[in-house]
Amino acid sequence: MREFDLGMEFQDEFYSNINKPDNLFNDCTEWLGKINESGYGVLDRGQFAHRISFLIHNGRIPDGFEIDHLCRNKKCVNPHHLEAVSQTLNRQRRIYQRNPDNK
C-alpha cells in the first residue's frame, strides 16, 4: 500500500482545480489545473490528480494496483469514475476501448 500525507494544503490545491458537475455520479469532474504530455491532470507537486482523488475518497491504493478511469476521460477525477485495478485489467480495458470488436 502506498501512503503519503494528504494534509489540508494538499487537499485545498486539489479542490481548487476541479469543476463542479451538475450530476456527481454521472458527469465527469474534470481537472482544471496542469495537464501532462499524456493528458493526465497533475498537481504542482507532480502527483496525478486522479490518484489523489482516489486517495482522498478511498484512503489508499492497494499495492500493485493502478487507478482506471471507467469513463475513459484522463482529466476526470470523479471518485465514482475511478477504480483500483491490476495493470493487466487496466491495459485490457484500454485496448477494448480502442477496438471494441477485438474480443
pLDDT value of position 93: 86
Q: What is the predicted pLDDT for the residue at 4?
A: 57
Architecture in CATH of 8-98: Alpha-Beta Complex (3.90)
Domain ranges for the chain, please list them. 8-98
CB atoms under 10 Å from CB of 26, counted, come to: 11
The three-state (H, E, C) secondary structure of the chain, written as one string? CECCCCCHHHHHHHHCCECCCCCCCCCCCEECCEECCCCCEECCCCCEHHHHHHHHHHCCECCCEEEEECCCCCCECCHHHEEEEEHHHHHHHHHHHHCCCCC
What tens digit of pLDDT does each residue of 19-76 get?
988 887 889 999 999 999 999 999 988 999 999 999 999 988 999 999 999 999 999 9
